[in-house]
Amino acid sequence: MKNYIIIGNGVAGTTAAEKIRENDGDAKIAIFTDEPVPYYTRIRLPDFLAGAAGEKDLILRKESWYDERGIELHLGEAIEEIDPCKRKVRSAKGKRYGYDRLLLATGGHSFIPPIQGIEKEGVFTLRSIGDARGIREYASKVAEVLIIGGGLLGLEAGNGLRRSGLRVTVVEFFPRLLPRQMDVPGAELLKRQMEGMGFTFYLGAKSNQIMGDGKVEGLALEDGTCISCDMILISAGVRPNLELAQGLGLEIDKGVIVNDRMETNSASIYAAGDLVQHRDHFYGIWPAAERQGEVAGINMAGGEELYEGTVMSNRLKVVGIDLVSSGEIDVEGQFESLVKKDEEKYIYRKLIFKGGLIIGCILLGDVSGNKEILNAIEGKKDVAHLKGEILEEDFDFKRLGG
């Protein structure tokens, strides 16, 4: 009987455990995490901030799910040390456990930029359910929140706090919102729509100093502008949790480098999720972590599965706004594109082509056909004969072969 240890209970670790069990019915599988609750969705943390979801609503796998599959779940028990020679780990409780195969699925943490005053009371990041608890409690006592970062997570968290009754200001270093998902015309339309919902934006702005005597009272920008607020939420990106990996002699660049089987350069150690770098790509998105966990779990149990990458695709989860962005968004206008725009209805649909292939899309306000379009992008399907019709209102997206 083989012993499998998984460090991390996010989507990568939990999916890997499920696949190990499917392929090795007799195995001993143990998941270790510093989290206080089983596998939950971070996607709904903004709903928790809004008061529209409780903690139980976030849980994707109840403890009974683990029991039914014979998976040991060690909540609140982080792994602090790994000995790859003896194939043993030591937990924060001082206990030691042996393994035959080990999966690093330690995820990432919120990046905190070097802003003066960052240590003040009322400054938060949102990555875990613990973070969300702290934010929700503090937000219940204030009126104005400032979000540093106009990316997906920042806008979604900001909207959750807006729904809870706070006034929300967003400060973004780039001159447009969602710089990785939107081009200039699309981002401008999104900005106008969100301003209509009550958001205030400062774009092309750099944070200089968090003001206040001990606790947050405002943010000073480098151009001298001062913005008053009662709390600050920093959403400036995610960095991989590399502490454990760095002591193992693993090959590391932006993340832990893995091959197509999700193997590291150390025998018996695999890695998956926001921790890893695959074929020079660092994804940091849910679908990639899920597929990587699946491949890792199958191969740890003796299978032959390959991970060949994930098309970057994101969806903005803000009530009242539909937005899907995938692949090449062609900000510089280097490729052929088709665009349909209705400013009154906040609709912006853009398909980007390379020859007869759709290589990217931005769908704002009207996401019809998004599944078929994404399938066409991932499948590299030649749709040259349909170019003139795809954005027509009566187009049947089944013709894309989705």
Domain CATH code at residue 343 = 3.30.390.30
pLDDT-derived band of residue 1, with 50, 70 and 90 as boundaries?
confident
The answer to whether residue 138 sits within a structural domain is yes
The answer to whether residue 295 sits within a structural domain is yes
DSSP code of 249?
T
Contact status, residue 367 vs residue 324, Cβ threshold 8 Å: yes
Average pLDDT over residues 164-181: 96
The answer to whether residue 311 sits within a structural domain is no
Quote the CA–CA distance of 133 and 130 in Å, as a whole number. 5
Least trusted range by pLDDT, from 144-148, 217-221, 326-330, 395-399: 395-399
Quote the CA–CA distance of 398 and 120 in Å, as a whole number. 54
Question: What is the residue type of 151?
Answer: G
Q: Same structural domain for residues 92 and 132?
A: no
pLDDT at residue 161 in the model: 97
Domain CATH code at residue 154 = 3.50.50.60
pLDDT at residue 311 in the model: 86
Distances (CA, A) of 199 to 159, 176, 180, 194, 231: 8, 14, 20, 6, 15
Residue 401: is its pLDDT beyond 80? no
Average per-residue pLDDT for the chain: 95
pLDDT digit string, tens, across residues 10-23: 999 999 999 999 99
pLDDT at residue 255 in the model: 95
pLDDT digit string, tens, across residues 288-323: 999 999 999 999 999 999 999 988 888 888 878 999
Q: Which residues pair with 317 in a beta bridge?
A: 322
Quote the CA–CA distance of 144 and 220 in Å, as a whole number. 15
Residue 33: is its pLDDT beyond 70? yes
Residue 221: is its pLDDT beyond 60? yes
Quote the CA–CA distance of 10 and 165 in Å, as a whole number. 30
- Chosen domain end from 183, 218, 234: 234
Q: Same structural domain for residues 363 and 220?
A: no
pLDDT-derived band of residue 172, with 50, 70 and 90 as boundaries?
very high
The residue range of the domain holding 218 is 123-234
Question: Hey, how many other C-beta atoms are within 10 angstroms of the C-beta on 271?
Answer: 30
Q: Same structural domain for residues 72 and 132?
A: no
Q: Same structural domain for residues 37 and 86?
A: yes
The answer to whether residue 178 sits within a structural domain is yes
The answer to whether residue 156 sits within a structural domain is yes
pLDDT at residue 388 in the model: 83
Q: Same structural domain for residues 19 and 96?
A: yes
The answer to whether residue 313 sits within a structural domain is no
Residues found in the chain: 402
- Chosen domain end from 234, 261, 280: 234
Quote the CA–CA distance of 312 and 284 in Å, as a whole number. 9
Quote the CA–CA distance of 77 and 95 in Å, as a whole number. 10
Q: Same structural domain for residues 137 and 184?
A: yes
- Chosen domain end from 211, 234, 257: 234
pLDDT at residue 320 in the model: 82
Helix (H, G, I), strand (E, B) or coil at 197: coil
Residue 402: is its pLDDT beyond 80? no
pLDDT at residue 247 in the model: 86
What residues contact residue 74 under an 8 Å CB cut-off, 6+ apart? 30, 31, 32, 33, 91
Q: Same structural domain for residues 214 and 71?
A: no
Distances (CA, A) of 236 to 37, 187, 204: 25, 18, 14
pLDDT at residue 121 in the model: 97
Quote the CA–CA distance of 331 and 151 in Å, as a whole number. 16
Q: Same structural domain for residues 264 and 278?
A: yes
Quote the CA–CA distance of 314 and 311 in Å, as a whole number. 10
Contact status, residue 257 vs residue 265, Cβ threshold 8 Å: yes
Question: For 328, phi and psi rounded to 5 degrees?
Answer: -75, 120
Q: Same structural domain for residues 228 and 243?
A: no
End-to-end CA distance of the chain: 42
Residue 267: is its pLDDT beyond 90? no
Quote the CA–CA distance of 380 and 73 in Å, as a whole number. 40
pLDDT at residue 20 in the model: 98
Q: Same structural domain for residues 223 and 244?
A: no
Domain count, the chain: 3
Quote the CA–CA distance of 272 and 105 in Å, as a whole number. 5
Distances (CA, A) of 117 to 221, 235, 368: 13, 16, 45
Distances (CA, A) of 170 to 117, 203, 206, 232, 381: 18, 8, 12, 10, 39
| Contacts of 187-194 spanning 24+ positions with Cβ under 8 A | 189/341, 189/343, 189/346, 189/348, 189/364, 189/365, 190/321, 190/323, 190/346, 190/348, 190/364, 192/346, 193/321, 193/346, 193/365, 194/155, 194/318, 194/321
Question: What is the residue type of 379?
Answer: G
pLDDT-derived band of residue 269, with 50, 70 and 90 as boundaries?
very high
Q: Same structural domain for residues 229 and 278?
A: no
The answer to whether residue 271 sits within a structural domain is yes
Q: Same structural domain for residues 340 and 262?
A: no
The answer to whether residue 308 sits within a structural domain is no
Burial environment of residue 94 by CB neighbours within 10 A (0 to 12, 13 to 18, 19 or more): exposed
Tokens of 38: 């089983």
